[in-house]
């Protein structure tokens, strides 16, 4: 469905400044795949999508999208794809339902078909009660759902979604994904999306492409990335009031932990012993039993599975948390539960993250 080779985009900003936004991306997406593209702000995700959707021309490299070349046959590409951009796509003065119908007409649907499709999408995306409202009167989350409807009205085989869920409350976000996944199953759609919500990429995408500084730096399933690049962590605490003093017990426990399959980076900090292991949940019972047999008391044991942020950290030495993603985005925590989540002050955001 998508094949790119050496796809490159330079933006010449001034005589002395050129931004190398995308630096030679090779990407293959098979029909029916759901691929999430992850990366920090400025990594080149939107620029790549804008090239693949024929909105801007590549500086170098080639791509075929839905069977057509993006440079020599952009019209065919456009007919076969849907694109929900990072900004809002809808106009302001039209009513929501009319906007969807108008978009369908632009794609060459006859009036009856456009109206029927609009009707289906109003139901599918919970927009029915808002059908007669002006676009300018909709809330951010409602407009985002309308954007998705606009991207789907011509029943594309391939859908590009650039941060479709950013700024939505957790409930609306979950609903939106329900709708998108259902439509995908019904229509056998291929989907390429970007998101800063790593939990979304983790749970929904069959494949995660990590982009940094305009390049693909990893491309695998979320589980595959975590297994090969991050790995599980085991964190144990010896009891304060056990028969052996913590200063003696912790190093002894560390010795037991170092025998766990795949154990590395074993470290002791006060009462706490931590290590990377192959399979943390499977290791816990054995370590606790062995500790007990050695006269040590384990007070707490945590088996920590890696997140996609750990993967990014392993790949780049940086956390996606530091890159300007919303504070709730990387962890997937409920932003409503965090009173600082909506602040725009960078320091407060950093602290919150």
What are the residues binding Mg ion (CB under 5 A)?
45-46, 86
**Residue 44, binding choice from ligand ATP, Mg ion, none, Cβ under 5 to 8 Å by partner class:** ligand ATP
Q: What is the side-by-side strand order in the sheet with 272-277?
A: 264-269, 272-277, 232-238, 298-304
Nearest distance from residue 167's CB to Mg ion, in Å? 13
Nearest distance from residue 42's CB to ligand ATP, in Å? 4
Output 85 or 246, the one with its CB closest to ligand ATP.
85
Output 22 or 225, the one with its CB closest to ligand ATP.
22
54 dihedral zone (left: phi>0; alpha: psi -120 to 50; beta): left
Output 11 or 223, the one with its CB closest to ligand ATP.
11
Residues 6+ apart with CB under 8 A from 27: 2, 3, 4, 7, 209, 216, 219
Cα 207 to Cα 223: distance, rounded to the nearest angstrom: 9
Closest listed residue to residue 78, CA positions, set 100, 98, 106? 106
**Residue 41, binding choice from ligand ATP, Mg ion, none, Cβ under 5 to 8 Å by partner class:** ligand ATP
Output 13 or 75, the one with its CB closest to ligand ATP.
13
**Are the C-beta atoms of 164 and 148 separated by less than 8 Å?**
yes
Nearest distance from residue 26's CB to ligand ATP, in Å? 17
Nearest distance from residue 25's CB to ligand ATP, in Å? 11
Output 96 or 308, the one with its CB closest to ligand ATP.
308
Output 117 or 144, the one with its CB closest to Mg ion.
144
Radius of gyration of the chain (CA): 24
Nearest distance from residue 47's CB to Mg ion, in Å? 8
Triad 16, 85, 156: Cα angle to 5°: 130
Cα 213 to Cα 275: distance, rounded to the nearest angstrom: 31
**Residue 42, binding choice from Mg ion, ligand ATP, none, Cβ under 5 to 8 Å by partner class:** ligand ATP
Phi then psi dihedrals of residue 275, to 5 deg: -160, 155
In this structure, are strands 264-269 and 272-277 parallel, antiparallel, or unpaired?
antiparallel
**Residue 21, binding choice from Mg ion, ligand ATP, none, Cβ under 5 to 8 Å by partner class:** ligand ATP
Residues 6+ apart with CB under 8 A from 47: 9, 21, 22, 56, 214
Q: Which two tokens stand for residue 110?
A: 């006859």
**Residue 47, binding choice from Mg ion, ligand ATP, none, Cβ under 5 to 8 Å by partner class:** ligand ATP
Assign 3-state DSSP to the chain and report helix, strand, coil percentages, each to 5. Answer: 40, 25, 35
Output 44 or 151, the one with its CB closest to ligand ATP.
44
Cα 149 to Cα 127: distance, rounded to the nearest angstrom: 9
Q: Which residues are at the interface with ligand ATP (CB under 6 A)?
A: 11, 13, 19, 21, 39, 41-47, 86
Nearest distance from residue 13's CB to ligand ATP, in Å? 5
Nearest distance from residue 242's CB to ligand ATP, in Å? 49
Cα 219 to Cα 35: distance, rounded to the nearest angstrom: 10
Nearest distance from residue 213's CB to ligand ATP, in Å? 9
**Residue 11, binding choice from Mg ion, ligand ATP, none, Cβ under 5 to 8 Å by partner class:** ligand ATP
**Residue 221, binding choice from ligand ATP, Mg ion, none, Cβ under 5 to 8 Å by partner class:** none
**Residue 43, binding choice from ligand ATP, Mg ion, none, Cβ under 5 to 8 Å by partner class:** ligand ATP
Nearest distance from residue 47's CB to ligand ATP, in Å? 3
Output 46 or 172, the one with its CB closest to Mg ion.
46
Cα 306 to Cα 308: distance, rounded to the nearest angstrom: 7
Output 10 or 69, the one with its CB closest to ligand ATP.
10
């Amino acid at each position: 469905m998508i094949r790119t080779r050496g796809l490159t985009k330079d933006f010449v900003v001034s005589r002395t400044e050129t931004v190398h936004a995308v630096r030679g991306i090779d990407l293959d997406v098979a029909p029916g795949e759901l691929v999430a593209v992850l990366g920090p702000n400025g990594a080149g995700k939107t620029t790549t999508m804008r090239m693949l959707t024929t909105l801007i021309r590549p500086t170098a490299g080639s791509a075929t999208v839905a069977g057509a070349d993006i440079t020599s046959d952009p019209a065919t590409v456009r007919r076969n794809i849907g694109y929900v951009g990072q900004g809002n796509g809808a106009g302001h003065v039209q009513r929501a339902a009319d906007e969807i119908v108008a978009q369908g007409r632009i794609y060459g649907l006859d009036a009856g078909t456009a109206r029927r499709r609009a009707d289906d999408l109003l139901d599918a995306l919970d927009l029915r009660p808002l059908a007669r409202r002006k676009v300018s009167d909709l809330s951010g989350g409602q407009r985002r759902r309308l954007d998705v409807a606009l991207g789907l009205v011509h029943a594309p085989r391939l859908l590009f979604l650039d941060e479709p869920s950013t700024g939505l409350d957790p409930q609306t976000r979950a609903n939106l994904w329900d709708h998108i996944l259902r439509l995908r199953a019904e229509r056998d759609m291929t989907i390429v999306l970007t998101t800063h919500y790593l939990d979304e990429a983790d749970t929904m995408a069959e494949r995660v492409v990590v982009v940094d500084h305009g390049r693909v730096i990893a491309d695998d399933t979320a589980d595959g990335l975590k297994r090969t690049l991050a790995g599980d962590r085991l964190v144990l605490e010896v009891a304060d009031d056990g028969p052996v003093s913590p200063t003696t017990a912790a190093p002894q426990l560390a010795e037991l932990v170092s025998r766990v399959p795949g154990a590395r980076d074993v470290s002791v900090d006060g009462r706490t012993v931590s290590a990377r292991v192959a399979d943390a949940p499977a290791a816990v019972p054995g370590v606790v039993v062995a500790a007990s047999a050695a006269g040590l008391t384990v007070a707490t044991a945590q088996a920590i599975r890696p997140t996609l942020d750990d993967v990014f950290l392993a790949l780049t030495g940086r956390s996606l948390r530091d890159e300007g993603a919303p504070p709730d985005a990387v962890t997937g925590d409920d932003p409503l539960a965090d009173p600082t989540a909506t602040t725009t002050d960078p320091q407060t955001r950093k602290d919150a993250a």
